[in-house]
Chain A
Amino acid sequence: MLVASMNYALSLGFALTFLIAGLVAAALLHTYRNLHGVAISPIGAGEAFAGTELSFTLSLGSAGSARRGIVVATAGERSVSVDLAAGATQLVQLVAEAPRRGRQALGRVTLWTDFPLGLWRGWAYVHFPLSGIVYPAPEAPAPPLPLGNEGSDAHKNVHAADAELAGLRDYQRGDPLNRIAWKAVARGAGWYSKQFEGAGGRGALELAWADLPPGFDTEARLSRLTAWVLATEREARAFALRAPGLELALGHGAAHRRAALTALALYPPERAQ
């Protein structure tokens, strides 16, 4: 436009070009002011299983005037666009992919805006010491919970004394011999194991690393244990967790479950612990 105005000595061409230049320059100030004075602070991180998404919560506040189109983005492509009223504070959920178990940090957060005209982009980088726990991906479909340890007298007694036969299920390697439904085997109907339900609630479990099939690698074991921990929740059973370097006493409830999942997520436990 400038070149055309120059070549043809179009005064109004110059005027139009420069008016647009003024508009662009003013847009720069507006973009700057839109981002300037936005306060961002970390609130918390969620929890997730590997392969799903982990969410982080941040709070976004505008000290002075209203803000439009403030985009909060993680290092990945995920972003959230927020409009803020004057003086308002708003919670923003940032979702990040959680590919691997363990502790996942939020990383660098980019705060940017191209309001009002999309011609300029103002941005700021923020780092927060905010991280979430990514649990191992539960094995799916996971085999049913183990029936308990044959060698444990306590368990045997429980079953002997007041257990009722609850049903049969497919036999699975490692089921104790005395649980096999031999009658069914004899009839030639296939291999089943008997399931009992204790009269005083479901029986306590010990989820042990060592009980898992020997061919499993670490991640497969963690994955199955995670699935089982989740299964105990569905069946409302207490459990203990035992793995090399990791000992979680018998317990139940959300906190216990989270402790178990966290321990599995961060496996192997750090030496210091």
Chain B
Amino acid sequence: MIFAAAPATPLARTQLAWLGALVLLAQLTVASHVLPWIAGSGAALVLIRFVLSPDRLPSPRLRRVLLPVLAFTFAVAIRIKFGYFLARDPCVDFLYVLVGIKYLETRNARDGGLLVCLAVFLLLTQFFYAQTIFAALLTLPVLLVLGGALAALREAPADAEWKAPLQRTGRMILQGIPIAALLFIFFPRLAGPLWGMPADAGAHTGLSERMAPGTIGALSLSDEVAFRVDFEATAPPPAQRYWRGPVLARFDGEAWTALSYLRRGEPVRASARTIEYTVTLEPHGQRWLFALEHAASLPSRPATDATSGGPPGDLALLTSDQQLLAKSPLMQSVRYTERSTLGDSFPSTGNIERRENLQLPRDRNPRTIERARELRAGVGSDRALIAAVLSSFRSEPFVYTLTPSPVGDEPVDGFLFDTRRGFCEHYASAFVVILRAAGIPARVVTGYQGGELNPDGGYLIVRQSDAHAWAEALLDGVWQRFDPTAAVAPSRIERGLGAALPLGEYVPYMAQLDMTWLKSLRLHWDAINYQWQRGVVGFNVDRQRDLLRDLGLGNARHWELVALVAGMITLWGVVLLALARRRALSADPAGALWLRVCRRLARAGLRRSPEEGPLAYAQRAARRWPQWAALFARIGNSYALLRYGPESEQRTKLIAALREGVAQLPGARKLRTQSPS
């Protein structure tokens, strides 16, 4: 690429305006993702030059000193604010300011070229944060301005000339779309990063391997989609939609965490209640894949057509406590097909699980432990004890709420005996603590419960607001699910969060019950978004392989693919040039016809000399081929009239006559053989 403009000439005002517009728009796309003071000062740097006249700015020499100092100051400030520098967020923040500083010192076309590159890179960084349809749509106008800025760098445009470059760029972008699509589909995607990703590369929301009072409640405030599910047959009823995630078996008196070691487990047996479904899981930065209770198989890649989607077990493994764990944290959206046997229990793997799930810090929550022992003494069996606990949740004044009161130093005690207000994690936690204290092995299971069927796409949307915690108890060698939340607020399980929370309490919008038109619009929108996520954003190495296989290119070698792409790019060029040529010709049909005549006669040995007019040329041809003299005269006359005659309504008639004449004209070979000389 060559920036052809003389690099040393100072930029004109209009050129600076174009560059400024590009920089500002690029900044705008990331402005909401950088620190507010960075967003403000970065844009202000651009605006200063826009607004102030050049003579009020510091002199170029002073600027050469000032601006590096300014850049360094910002770098230090960002480093102090974040505490580190070489990570995504500080770097994006710095780039944001840097384009502003670079704009201030842009003097000539070479600076301008560099600035354009920086701005385009800044434009890219927005996708670190959001890859939504909106983000994509907002990027398109910036691309138009990018074209305008490049054109302006080439030649300073006039003041009023801003529409034409945008239109031209728009046309070129449209023409370039086939290339973009081709590269998008065929350019090799990587399964993992080239270098280590900074720790903050994915600021994902979702469940984690730690549950303290309030963690799930906080998650429940989010409308963000956790995953979407396509069911093979019909979706199970809400009460059976328990999406199993992190299983938490260790308790420190306040928070639940996962065991640090894992054992491999077996899928449950398939039965008549086994259903198959495909999950599209948003990246959540953790290893869990979610499945309905209980997994009857290992997840596999979705099968397309006749081909099966690779061996199961390729994606994830199953632990003995029925968690599905991917091989590495999920940084890209993943799609998997899974089978589950719906049920609320599954066999335990042995005695070791008993020991693991009786652990309880002895010195914490003494009132709860005391109460559990009393209960145990009062009832005959484990099951009776569990029933008693659940009925106490039901009958005593427990409140299911997203805004529990502070529970104090001993959270379970505080919740059970003082506040009695809590969200699902409070109930699950307290329930398991009571059971353990009473000598029944039990643990907390987190995941999602419920989900919303989208009438548009026929799929289930599970949001962060569906996050849930329940419990499992080991009874007679079988892990049995108990959901204490169901005892307090049965509607949470049947109808979702919106139905279960007390009136007047904040409910995440999409979890609200009434189906307003706005909500239904959002469901339509989600259906579109789902396709977007699956088809565009989620187009990764797996999806690429699937698509190539569908195209019958599954076994193609690399060089074959490269050759294919190169061939298609060539074809693209040829087609576009041919189209442009045809457009140019159709703008001047008479000229095109005349050109054909000239070419044919030239091939037959009678070349038109450059200064020869149509009449003279036609006469010369008539002398050469007297048998077609009348035809040549007609062609020559109509063309001369069309070209040099007055504008008249006869035009179409003349063109028709010319076309007819050209049609009757013999081919070049025939002319050559008929030539007298």
Contact residues of A with B, CB < 8 Å? 1, 3-27, 29-30, 32-33, 64-65, 69, 81, 86-87, 114-121
Stretch from B185-193, B252-260, B382-390 that touches the partner: B185-193
Q: Chain B interface residue count: which class?
A: 35 or more
A13:B569 contact, CB within 8 angstroms: no
Establish whether residues A11 and B172, one from each chain, have CB atoms under 8 Å apart when the complex forms.
no
Confirm or deny: B567 has a beta carbon within 8 angstroms of a beta carbon on chain A. no
Give chain B nearest CB distance to A21 CB in angstroms: 6
Query: A25 near B127 (CB under 8 angstroms)?
Result: no
Q: Is the CB of B538 within 8 A of A11?
A: yes
A-B interface, 6 closest residue pairs, ranked by CB to CB distance from nearest? A22-B176, A118-B154, A22-B179, A26-B172, A18-B180, A22-B180
Q: Would you call B375 an interface residue if the criterion is a C-beta within 8 Å of the partner chain's C-beta atoms?
A: no
From B595, which residue of chain A is reached at the shortest CB distance? A63
Stretch of B128-136, B485-493, B494-502 with 4 or more beta carbons under 8 angstroms from chain A: B128-136
Which B residues are CB-close (under 8 A) to A5? Answer: 124, 127
Distance, CA A8 to CA B129, complexed state (A): 11
Least distance between A84 CB and chain B CB atoms (Å): 14
Among A14, A64, A117, the residue within 8 A (CB) of B584 is A64
With CB as the reference atom, state the residue of chain A lying closest to B193: A7
Contact of A16 among B127, B165, B588 (CB under 8 A): B127
Q: Smallest Cβ distance from B226 to chain A, in angstroms?
A: 19
Q: Which residue of A lies closest to B573 (CB)?
A: A29
A16-B124 contact, Cβ under 8 Å, with A64-B584, A117-B147 = yes
Closest to A87 in B: B588
Instruction: List CB contacts (< 8 Å) of B78-136 with chain A.
Output: 120-121, 123-125, 127-128, 131, 135-136
Distance in Å from the Cβ of B191 to the closest Cβ of chain A?
Answer: 9
Total A-B residue pairs with C-beta atoms closer than 8 Å?
161
- Which residues 145-159 of B sit at the A interface, judged by CB distance below 8 A? 146-147, 150-151, 153-155
Are B573 and A19 in contact, with the CB atoms below 8 A?
no
B1 and A119 form a contact (CB under 8 A): yes
- Shortest C-beta distance, B252 to chain A (Å), equals 36
B154 near A69: Cβ-Cβ < 8 Å: yes
Residues of A close to B135: CB separation below 8 A = 12
Instruction: Decide if B51 is an interface residue (CB 8 Å cutoff).
Output: no
Residues of B that sit less than 8 Å from A by CB: 1-5, 120-121, 123-125, 127-128, 131, 135-136, 139, 143, 146-147, 150-151, 153-155, 165, 168-169, 171-173, 175-181, 183-184, 187, 189-190, 193-195, 197, 201, 331-332, 536-540, 569, 572-573, 576-577, 580, 584-585, 587-588
Which residues does chain A contribute within 8 Å of B169, judged by CB atoms? 23, 116-117
- Chain B residue at smallest Cβ distance from A112: B4
B155 touches A69 (CB 8 A): yes
**Contact (Cβ within 8 A) A20 B120:** yes
Contact B123 A117 (CB under 8 A): no
Q: Which one, B125, B184, B584, contacts A15 given CB within 8 A? A: B184
The answer on a CB contact under 8 Å between A22 and B173 is yes
Cβ distance A128 to chain B, nearest Cβ, rounded Å: 14
On whether the beta carbons of B176 and A116 are closer than 8 Å, the reply is no
A7 neighbours in B (Cβ, 8 Å): 190, 193-195, 197
B150 contacts A118, C-beta separation under 8 Å: yes
Whether A14 lies near B187 (C-beta < 8 A) is yes
Query: Quick one: closest A residue to B190, CB to CB?
Result: A6
Q: Is the Cβ of A19 less than 8 Å from the Cβ of B150?
A: no
Q: Which of B4, B143, B187, B539 contacts A23 (CB 8 A)?
A: B143
Q: Is the CB of A1 within 8 A of B120?
A: yes
* Distance, CA A24 to CA B617, complexed state (A): 43
With a CB–CB cut-off of 8 A, which chain A residues contact B153? 118
What residues of chain B lie closer than 8 Å to A24, measured between beta carbons? 1, 176
Decide if B3 touches A26 in the complex (CB within 8 Å). Answer: no
The smallest beta-carbon distance between B110 and chain A, in angstroms, is 12
- Contact for A118 among B3, B131, B539, CB less than 8 A: B3
Shortest CB distance B124–A (Å): 5
- Taking CB atoms, residues of chain B closer than 8 Å to A64 are 584-585, 587-588
CA of A10 to CA of B193 in the docked complex: distance in angstroms? 11
- Whole-angstrom CA separation of A25 from B172 in the bound complex: 9
> Are A8's CB and B168's CB within 8 A?
no
Residues of B within 8 A of A65 (CB): 584, 587
Q: B592: nearest residue on chain A (CB-CB)?
A: A64
List residues of chain B with CB within 8 A of the CB of A9.
189-190, 193, 331-332, 540
Chosen A-B contacts, 27 in total, with CB atoms closer than 8 Å, are A6-B194, A8-B197, A9-B331, A11-B537, A12-B127, A12-B135, A12-B136, A15-B180, A15-B184, A19-B173, A19-B176, A19-B180, A20-B146, A21-B179, A22-B175, A23-B147, A24-B176, A32-B577, A64-B588, A65-B584, A114-B2, A116-B151, A117-B150, A118-B5, A118-B155, A120-B2, A121-B4
- Residues of chain B within 8 A (CB-CB) of A13 are 124, 127
How far does the Cβ of B579 sit from chain A's closest Cβ, in whole Å? 10
In the assembled complex, which residues on chain B have CB atoms less than 8 Å from the CB atom of A18?
Answer: 179-181, 183-184, 187
B151 touching A118 by the CB < 8 A rule?
Answer: yes
Give every chain B residue within 8 A of A20 (Cβ-Cβ). 120, 143, 146
Inter-chain CA distance A19–B190, complex, in Å, is 20
